[in-house]
Structure 1
Amino acid sequence: MQKDHSGSAPSTPTSRIRHRRRSNEIPSDFSKLNGSHLLVDDKNKYRSMWIRAYSSLWMLACFACILYLGHLYIWAMVVIIQIFMARELFNLRIRAHEGRRAHEDRRLPGFRLLNWHFFFTAMLFVYGRILNQQLVNTVTSEKIFYKLVSSLIKYQMVICYFLYIAGFVWFILTLKKKMYKYQFGQYAWTHMILIVVFTQSSFTVANIFEGIFWFLLPASLIAVNDVAAYIFGFFFGRTPLIKLSPKKTWEGFLGASVVTVVFAFVVANILGRFQWLTCPRQDLSTGWLQCDPGPLFKLEYYSLPRWVPQWFPWTEMSILPVQWHALCLGLFASIIAPFGGFFASGLKRAFKIKDFGDSIPGHGGFTDRMDCQMVMAIFAYIYHQSFIVPQSYPVEVLLNQITRNLSFEEQKALYMKLGQIFQERLLLKS
């Protein structure tokens, strides 16, 4: 092999592609960061901080507007975020191996379309299962439309199954010789993305319709924890926390934990005073809600020790019972949820990229912002269903199910059976 004037062998096209670095690829010394290279000593940290702060303010303003519009618009926001996350994850393998993956994708026309077919099939299945009752309650005014929606809900699982089978057959028919390994790898990667994206989003949407409070509080805890960890690490961080995220420090982690728990207790008291945040949504309308807030959102008053009025002008303190539950959410958000971010950092290291995308300046992609939210949304739903939702059903809910799902003859039979039960109990008491 001939050498150039510098004495080294000329690079081949394959080696040039292999060593080409994208703008968001991890630098060669990224994994060698130590205490002296943490964010506290970064010369460009102020520029990075202002870009991040500017983007955060824009995101906060947009989020506040959507939050004001109500449940349906928040759901739409979650769907849009899902689509961006799926796009970033679908592109991840191609970005990590740009030349080879792009060449192989060109040899498989329609393969990307197949990925999105599975995505929207999963979306139809998940949201159809979660929001079927809200959908029925929305179309009660028109009988024909009600019957159509009821039929779609009844056969929704069958429809989704055959849509999935259609994609499965489509995948089999597109298999090409010498590309089996790549195609099956993409097929498995697509299903992993569906699990990651829709597991999180399904619990998020369920939380929204249980009451915006149960969506807003967990989401805000993750945001506050992330900002507090950044600020404490920015000014005080010197001790590395975990090798997967070299810029994460113990100082940032501990400082953010304290701030998050205090924030959870205080903000739960503020959010819990608004009925439109605490009332569950039973349909898909956009009107403001009014309901009985329940005992969790009714103030309880506690007398303060005698020495407190000597220093502060308070003799008692008002606390919502839900604030004690908020402490549990705050502890989880500050101690366990960050491991969702560590998982995402490990995944990015596996593919040798710095961020999942560049949609949000200073933050990366949507997946970079939602990594901890995925863990938190699942915990918030499980906690709510286990410790908040009463085990008995309200009479209104039972009557609604009876009138909608039972025929007139079945309702009459139920009425007669309940009459017999009441008569037997009266005879026992007498």
Structure 2
Amino acid sequence: MNVKLMDKSLQSPRSPSTIRSRHRKKSTEAFPNVVKLSDNNLLLNDQNKYKSMWVRTYSSVWMLLCFMLVVYLGHIYLWGMIVVIQILMTSELFNLLRRAHEAKQLPGFRLLNWHFFFTAMLFVYGRMLGQQLMHAVTPDKFFYKLAMRFMKYQMVICYFLYIAGFMWFILTLKKKMYKYQFSQYAWTHMILIVVFTQSSFTAANIFEGLFWFLLPASLISTNDVAAYFFGFFFGRTPLIKISPRKTWEGFIGASVTTVIAAFFLANVLGHYQWMTCPRRDFSTGWLECDPGPYFKPEIFELPKEISQVLPWKEITVLPVQWHALCLGLFASVIAPFGGFFASGFKRAFKIKDFGGSIPGHGGFTDRMDCQMVMAVFAYIYHQSFVIPQYYPVEILFEQILRSLNLEDQELLVTKLKEVMDARNLQH
């Protein structure tokens, strides 16, 4: 008997190296849809990279042409495009954790998710659109009064719509499905927070002036293209494990390219009032405004060390170009971590892309991962460092027209006149 036991132990050894090799084998099989990449499988040595590059380029050209057309049409159409992308991103994310078997047993549960989505949309965009409508019509019009009423009760309306969805969810809880339903409920709210946080700041940037939307968005695209180009031809050193095709060569090359592009692109965009003027109503006509000091050219003298090499001693610079350098630095160093986060998320859920809507790129969520981070930063930077911290008469006057109806405006004028008359009597 002892001999037999010894034979069996010899036939099936369980050395530590064998256990580790089995563990490694299992861990690679846990991601069936994720391509395993080693140092020899970077874009530099990828045999199918040229085919992938042409598919990606073809899709990028079509996206660029469509985007340029929408920008040409104006602010309202651009905001509409953001809403469409928002809906497509939400649909991709809703489908990510949806299981068909459970969904069939919960009729109407899908509709509940979209109820929360449109409630959030009404909350985020309602006040902004109401203010735009107030500027588009005269105070005695029906739509003006309707906008005033809606803005006054917007939070109440959105709150009770949310409460209605909450009660709907509780009433539809089904035995043996609790875990799935609550996980979907939490997943829906996370999607709304991520998507609407980004899109609300994006819409605000659009109406502050196309410059503050187009420059950050262009810098992300520039960084993405430059990283792909430098990684394609020079990439050898892996950058981060969760995104194996990213290389240090691509990251550094894209960073330098993005910062340089930011400086010159800001100069090009800053010379057009169509880009720099804010939009305050629903009209699509040409914009005329005072561009402000940041968009007025200034002469900048080059340092002696540089002027001795170059044929120029001074250059004309828009002050906003110095701010563009900060945006370019963020777009090249910080914003890519939005893409790394998305890569880690996809690996956690064993998927290659969030969707397949864009050939060579994946889904819309795959294209907007870095844009979401950049849009929030662009808005915060603009509000903190660009717009004046004081309130000039023009801004106060505009706020009065936005917030007060005709009767309140007349009352304000009367009160101001009384104050001014009292001060004149004192003097």
* Shorter-chain TM-score above 0.5: yes
2:280 to 273, 279, 282: 282
CA distance 1:422–1:180, shift in 2 (3 Å): farther
> 2:68 matched to 1:64?
yes
Question: 1: CA distance between counterparts of 2:388 and 2:308?
Answer: 42
Q: What's the counterpart of residue 39 of structure 1? A: 43
Q: 1:355 aligns with which of 336, 344, 353?
A: 353
Alignment partner, residue 6 of structure 2: none
Say if 2:301 and 2:314, in contact at 8 Å, map to a contact too. yes
CA distance in structure 2 between the partners assigned to 1:112 and 1:182 by the alignment: 13
One-letter identity of the residue aligned with 1:52: R
Q: Give the C-alpha shift of residue 39 in structure 1.
A: 1.4
CA distance in 1, matches of 2:423, 2:156: 38
Counterpart of 2:103 in structure 1 is: 105
Pairwise CA distance, 1:130:
3.2
Residue number among 145, 148, 158 corresponding to 2:146 in the alignment = 148
CA distance in 1, matches of 2:425, 2:240: 68
Aligned to 2:246: 248
Partner of 1:260: 258
Q: CA deviation at 1:281?
A: 0.8
Q: CA RMSD in A?
A: 1.9
The offset of 1:35, in angstroms, is 1.2
Shift of 1:47: 0.2
1:79 paired to 2:83: yes
- Say whether residues 1:372 and 2:374 are aligned partners: no
- The CA distance in 1 between the partners of 2:397 and 2:303, in whole Å, is 48
Alignment partner of 1:226 is 2:230:
no
Number of residue pairs the alignment of both structures matches: 394
1:55 has 2:63 as partner: no
Q: Which amino acid aligns with 1:300?
A: E
Q: Which SS does the other structure have where 1:164 is aligned?
A: helix
Q: Which structure 2 segments of 5+ residues have no match?
A: 1-29
Contact 2:219 2:261 in 1 (8 A): yes
Cα deviation for residue 28 of structure 1 reads 6.2
Paired residue secondary structure (2:315): strand
* 1:189–1:278 distance in 2 versus 1, CA, 3 Å: same
Q: 1:409 to 1:317 in 2, by over 3 A?
A: closer
Q: Alpha carbons of 1:349 and 1:305: their partners in 2 closer, same or farther (altered >3 Å)? A: closer
SS in 2 for 1:376: helix
Q: CA distance change for structure 1 residues 311 and 195 in 2, over 3 Å: closer, same or farther?
A: same
| Identity, % of aligned positions | 71
Instruction: Describe the SS at the equivalent of 2:300.
Output: strand
Q: Which residue of 2 aligns with 1:414?
A: 416
173, 176, 179: which one pairs with 1:178? 176
Report the equivalent of 1:190.
Answer: 188
Deviations 1:358-391 (A, max 9, x none): 0000000000000000000000000000001112
1:115 counterpart residue number: 113
In structure 2, the CA distance between the partners of 1:219 and 1:313, relative to structure 1 (3 Å rule), is: same
* Residues 1:158 and 2:152 are matched in the alignment: no
1:44 to 1:206, Cα distance in 2 relative to 1, 3 A: same
Structure 1 segments unaligned to the other structure (5+ residues): 1-24, 95-100
Q: Choose 82-91 or 299-308, whichever is displaced more.
A: 299-308
Distance 1:422 1:155, change over 3 A: farther
TM-score, normalised by the number of residues in structure 1: 0.88
Q: Is the 8 A contact 1:228 1:255 kept in 2?
A: yes
Cα displacement string for residues 327-367 of structure 1 (whole angstroms, at most 9, x for unaligned residues): 00000000000000011111111110000000000000000
Residue in 1 that maps onto 2:22: none
Please tell me whether the aligned partners of residues 130 and 202 of structure 1 are also in contact (alpha carbons under 8 angstroms). Answer: no
Equivalent AA in structure 1 for residue 362 of structure 2: G
